[in-house]
Structure 1
Amino acid sequence: MSKVDRFPDLMRAFFYEWLVEQRNASIHTVRSYRDTWRLWLRFVAQRTGKKVAMIRLADLAASEVAAFLSHAEHDRGGTIGTRNCRLAAIRSFFHFVATRDPGSIAQCVEILNIPVKRAPVSEPCYLDPAEVTAILAQPNRSTLEGIRDHALLSFLY
């Protein structure tokens, strides 16, 4: 029994029907997701030796996602934040697929269980008393705006 791959139809429906019409996603979100999919499909095509147009939904396994995320972070020099954005785009698609194609739920669950990566949190930087004094000396206190600015800056300190 030869089953027709629904991947092209699902991809079109994801971008046009779900992201744009139902979710009203911003153009920036749509472009970010598009770029993620371009990179990922090219990556999968290179690893599998197929042309991008020949990739099937079954080729998009959790192992491919993990390899792509590692590639995006290490080989392409991306940040952890960029890696997590790429994962969000992929997860969003597979959330959508899980509702439209029940036969691929197991594949979707594997991909949806890939965790986001935690980035190290940098310490907050504080101003020294000399720096605060210099900032408070900036507003011209002979004008109403300067008095206001000095009061606001003093309050913030």
Structure 2
Amino acid sequence: MGSDDFFRLVRTWLTIHLPRARRLSPHTIRSYKTALNTLLDYLRETRQLKLAEITFDSINHAAITGFTTWLLETHGLAASSANQRVAAIKSFLSYCAGEDPALVAIWLDVKQVRPARAPAHAPDALTMPAVEALIRAPGQQTSHGLRDTTIILLIFDAAARIQEVLDLTPADIDTTPGRGRVTLTGKGQKTRTIPIMDKTGRHLNHYLNVFHPGRPEPDAPFFYTIRAGQHQPMSQDNITYLLNKHATAARENCPEIPERIHAHQLRHARAMQMLRAGVPLPHIKEFLGHANIATTSIYASADNQMVREAIQKAASTTPDLAPVWKGPDDLIL
């Protein structure tokens, strides 16, 4: 198969199969597109191939193994990021094999490439004092302060990913006292309904009254910015900027806040808080929207404080050992 066939399948995979058949989000499709572009850069740089010369014959087990090494050593990617790139390539080849049986052998060959070993890192969760200081930092005297407080509080309380919060609409919010909840759309367009604290519900109600007065459009972006007089969805960069801006102010009173923070640290903090409160891992898995409980288990393995408390609790119930030696003190000594 020639270069035309290769790029024809690239086009249909990105523009038809992923958005329509698999119904993946634009953010996920962009990451798949980035993986393919990076592979093309690798083939051009290391094999001196022009774009018009790249075919399925250029892609095999050795090429993808070299691609993984190139990502790790030349571009300095983390093992997890390199594995995501390779997984996207495998997904593309699986699609191609379904379209043309002649490509099944290439897919099976590349499928055997082992992922790079990623060291397990403990989640970099914020401490609870840091979370509380960050939530208080924006204040609520201004509309922007109200918005930022609501965003930070909701990310923490629902343990939500940034994109899940940005995709919220007024129809996804229920602030009924005692039954408050938000419906989040996570990876793979999977939805989950998360209970929220009454305090969070009150903040959401206040935000609705200010930013969505009257009867809000049910499908409008819940959080938005205004550009050229029009409501526009906020971006992930907007959230990262406001988090770090308020972290700088909060750090004066709470030195536990790290120099650079990201929204996932709030998500990690919520997961650790639930774990320490005794919530079972399977429930935390559903709360976080993890596909595999092994992903959730890293919180349990990272919590040294829980291990320490469990050991001390066990030690307190252990009977004192009876003395082994009997006799005069000088003999025992």
Same fold (TM over 0.5): yes
**For residues 102 and 115 of structure 1, what CA distance do their matches in structure 2 show?**
23
**For residues 18 and 42 of structure 2, what CA distance do their matches in structure 1 show?**
23
**For residues 39 and 80 of structure 2, what CA distance do their matches in structure 1 show?**
17
**For residues 57 and 107 of structure 1, what CA distance do their matches in structure 2 show?**
8
Q: Indicate the residue corresponding to 1:138 in structure 2.
A: none
- Whether the 8 Å contact between 2:97 and 2:103 is mirrored in structure 1 is yes
**For residues 20 and 123 of structure 2, what CA distance do their matches in structure 1 show?**
40
Shift of residue 115 of structure 1?
1.9
Q: Indicate the residue corresponding to 2:104 in structure 1.
A: 105
Q: Indicate the residue corresponding to 1:156 in structure 2.
A: 277
- Structure number with the bigger relative contact order (C-alpha 8 A, sep ≥ 6) is 1
**For residues 4 and 31 of structure 1, what CA distance do their matches in structure 2 show?**
25
| Structure possessing the higher radius of gyration over alpha carbons | 2
Q: Indicate the residue corresponding to 1:148 in structure 2.
A: none
Task: Report SS of the residue matched to 1:116.
Answer: coil
Alignment of 1:76 with 2:84, yes or no, is no
Amino acid at match of 2:43: V
What does 1:42-53 align with in structure 2 at a 5 Å threshold? 42-53=41-52
Shift of residue 17 of structure 1?
1.4
- Whether the 8 Å contact between 2:35 and 2:88 is mirrored in structure 1 is yes
Alignment of 1:9 with 2:8, yes or no, is yes
* CA offset digits 1:117-143 (Å, max 9, x no partner): 332224579xxxxx99x89xxxxxxxx
**For residues 122 and 47 of structure 1, what CA distance do their matches in structure 2 show?**
32
TM-score under structure 1 length normalisation: 0.73
* CA offset digits 1:66-113 (Å, max 9, x no partner): 111111111111101101110111011011011011112111101111
Task: Report SS of the residue matched to 1:50.
Answer: coil
* CA offset digits 1:7-45 (Å, max 9, x no partner): 111111111111111011111111111111111101112
* CA offset digits 1:34-64 (Å, max 9, x no partner): 1111111011122222212321111112211
**Pairwise CA RMSD of aligned residues?**
3.0
Amino acid at match of 2:71: A
Distance verdict in 2 for CA 1:122–1:46, change over 3 Å: closer
Q: How many residues align?
A: 135
TM-score under structure 2 length normalisation: 0.36
Task: Report SS of the residue matched to 2:108.
Answer: helix
Q: Indicate the residue corresponding to 2:144 in structure 1.
A: none
Q: Indicate the residue corresponding to 1:94 in structure 2.
A: 93
**For residues 123 and 50 of structure 1, what CA distance do their matches in structure 2 show?**
41
**For residues 70 and 4 of structure 1, what CA distance do their matches in structure 2 show?**
27
Larger mean Cα displacement after TM superposition, 116-125 or 78-87:
116-125
Q: Indicate the residue corresponding to 1:117 in structure 2.
A: 116
**For residues 116 and 68 of structure 1, what CA distance do their matches in structure 2 show?**
11
Amino acid at match of 1:121: A
Distance verdict in 2 for CA 1:124–1:25, change over 3 Å: closer
Q: Indicate the residue corresponding to 2:28 in structure 1.
A: 29
**For residues 79 and 2 of structure 2, what CA distance do their matches in structure 1 show?**
37
Gapped regions of structure 1 (runs ≥ 5): 126-130, 136-144, 146-151
**For residues 74 and 48 of structure 1, what CA distance do their matches in structure 2 show?**
17
Task: Report SS of the residue matched to 1:44.
Answer: helix
- Percent of aligned pairs with the same residue? 24
- Whether the 8 Å contact between 1:42 and 1:52 is mirrored in structure 2 is no
Amino acid at match of 2:9: L
Task: Report SS of the residue matched to 2:119.
Answer: coil
Task: Report SS of the residue matched to 1:114.
Answer: coil
**For residues 11 and 120 of structure 1, what CA distance do their matches in structure 2 show?**
32
Distance verdict in 2 for CA 1:113–1:50, change over 3 Å: same
Distance verdict in 2 for CA 1:86–1:124, change over 3 Å: closer
Distance verdict in 2 for CA 1:73–1:4, change over 3 Å: closer
What does 1:128-147 align with in structure 2 at a 5 Å threshold? none
